Structure 1
Amino acid sequence: MQLVLRGGGGKGSAEAMPGLQLGAVATRADRQGRGYAGALMQRVLASADTLRLPVLLFANSSVTDFYPRFGFHRLPSHRAWTMGAFEPSGAVATPLDPTREADRRLLSDICTRSIPHGGALSAAPEPSLPLWYLCNGLARALVLDGGRSIVFVTEADSCLRVHDWLGPLPVDPLATLCSVMSAPVVRIEFGFLPPCGWFGDNLRLEPDDAAFMYWRAARPMPPGPLLFPEMLMT
């Protein structure tokens, strides 16, 4: 994975670097307590140390005491949203169909050209991950700007969740988001850190105590808000 670190509160110059992201680490119930998970972690992290690569992972509340044993520390993460009375505009965005080869090529091409989202830590988009979300019915993908960008959304309980936005980001996203709504919403949430100009003072950021993101590297994390792109988490 190509990680991006930014100084200056997440607004400064960006530095791209290779990094590793660990997925699930688990042991069968009848094999637990024998040190298998720890031995596996030691082997994987020894390879990361040899290559001098930072390691990122996403955990849950049941294993918060496990990863710090291996040099990981928890990163403070944020949530981002805005409130209001948002109405569909009636415009129709083009759905992206992951079963069509042309649409998969479009997704890959836009990922290649897309700039990583902001914040202290982000990553270059990887087409296989949003494709996994789409094939499992976990989001809708809509093609915007004549094929220049793609937005991934879900709608539930009067909330529009914008999981990701690949390609050029508009200065004012509201018109675009109203074009992808199928019903009125009162809340728009983001699975990435939006640009600071989006929604002005109405964009809310708050610490996310339910996010268990862990980081292991020789260098400290730059200061600033952090909302790692949701569709790049495993």
Structure 2
Amino acid sequence: MTGLSLYKDYKNNDELRKSFNDLATLVFGLNFEEWYKKGYWNDRYIPFSYVAGTKVIANVSVNILKLVINGEIKKAIQIGTVMTHPDYRGKGLSSSLMNMVMEEYEDSYDFIYLVANPNVLEFYPKFGFHPVNEYRYSLSYSPKTSGTSNIRKLDGGNIEDLEFIYNVASERVPVSNLFGTQDTQGILMFYCIYVFKSDIYFLENEDAIVIFKANENQVDIFDIISQKEVIIENVLSEITSATTKKIVFHYTPNYKGMNVHNEVLNSDDVLFIKAKGNNHFPLRVKHPITSQA
């Protein structure tokens, strides 16, 4: 299309960032401004956008990170925030931006991947992506008598708590060496601010931050943020109650001696992968939810 300009990595341009947020609000109901103002929109999140005048009308964003696969570090790009203003759809703008992203990054990274909603499942195979099943991991659990727990609830709206979380996350170990991520603290902070604001706890006895929800008989664990490996039995004993019967992990657990069950994740969203060379994406894994763009 003529009359459009390409901009990328413009987070500090107030006018364009506002327009980006306006489009994200229109398409996804999301606004990135608080994330930006609190300092967590870092150089690893890079929007590629078409702009008409001063209005962002199409975007594909890049997240630069590392994957941990069976203990090995792999360079990766996660694509997200793919959006086009309704007035400009059907003109090939997303395809054009995707081609630019692929041209810039695909030769330098081991994996490029994204999570797509069901409306666009035919779009990404055109660029060499293929769908991969994710898996849901769960554990039947019988509460055990524990010692004194010392849990402090953190507030995703409190800047001191957010800085504490960020500092721990900046030096964290991966949530799983079987399949985890690194350099994703920016995405994590997005989740802490917008998604799990009231579900973050610091376990002082374990020196770990746990993001979880407890609902009747089930506890859902979304992340365990620690600078050392945790003893999962100790964590579970602190966050469960007498009625807990099931633990659901929203990542790929690899705790020794733990008999976890896995099944194909029943979700409308689909993980798409493009691997470079001889790199192979692992089977039967769950991408950590708090580093999913």
TM-score by length of 2: 0.66
Counterpart for residue 4 of structure 1: 67
Alignment of 1:59-208 (within 5 A): 59-86=116-143, 91-118=149-176, 121-124=179-182, 126-136=184-194, 138=196, 139-146=198-205, 148-167=207-226, 168-171=228-231, 173-181=232-240, 184-197=243-256, 200-201=258-259, 203-208=260-265
Structure-2 separation of matches of 1:50 and 1:82: 40
Equivalent residue letter for 1:154: K
Counterpart for residue 15 of structure 1: 72
Equivalent residue letter for 2:243: P
**Kept after mapping to 2: 8 A contact 1:75/1:214:** yes
Question: Does 147-156 or 124-133 show the bigger shift?
Answer: 124-133
After superposition, the CA RMSD in angstroms is 2.8
Structure-2 separation of matches of 1:56 and 1:110: 26
Structure-1 separation of matches of 2:273 and 2:66: 12
Equivalent residue letter for 1:186: K
Equivalent residue letter for 2:90: G
What displacement does 1:221 show?
1.8
Counterpart for residue 37 of structure 1: 94
Q: Secondary structure at the match of 1:94?
A: strand
Structure-2 separation of matches of 1:150 and 1:178: 14
Counterpart for residue 221 of structure 1: 280
Structure-2 separation of matches of 1:29 and 1:88: 56
What displacement does 1:98 show?
3.6
TM-score by length of 1: 0.81
Question: Does 96-105 or 222-231 show the bigger shift?
Answer: 96-105
Aligned residues: 225
Question: Does 114-123 or 32-41 show the bigger shift?
Answer: 114-123
Q: Secondary structure at the match of 1:79?
A: strand
What displacement does 1:66 show?
0.9
Structure-2 separation of matches of 1:35 and 1:59: 18
What displacement does 1:182 show?
6.4
What displacement does 1:122 show?
2.3
Equivalent residue letter for 1:188: I
Structure-1 separation of matches of 2:73 and 2:263: 26
What displacement does 1:159 show?
1.8
What displacement does 1:41 show?
0.9
**Kept after mapping to 1: 8 A contact 2:173/2:229:** no
Note the residue ranges of structure 2 that are not aligned, 5 or more in a row. Answer: 1-63
Q: Write the deviation string for residues 125-174 of structure 1: whole angstroms up to 9, x where unpaired.
A: 53333332232253511112457311101123532110000113433x24
Equivalent residue letter for 2:230: P
Q: Secondary structure at the match of 1:178?
A: helix
What displacement does 1:87 show?
7.5
Q: Secondary structure at the match of 1:185?
A: coil
Structure-1 separation of matches of 2:183 and 2:140: 27
Structure showing greater radius of gyration is: 2
Structure-2 separation of matches of 1:147 and 1:223: 30
Q: 1:68 to 1:148 in 2, by over 3 A?
A: same
Q: Secondary structure at the match of 1:19?
A: strand
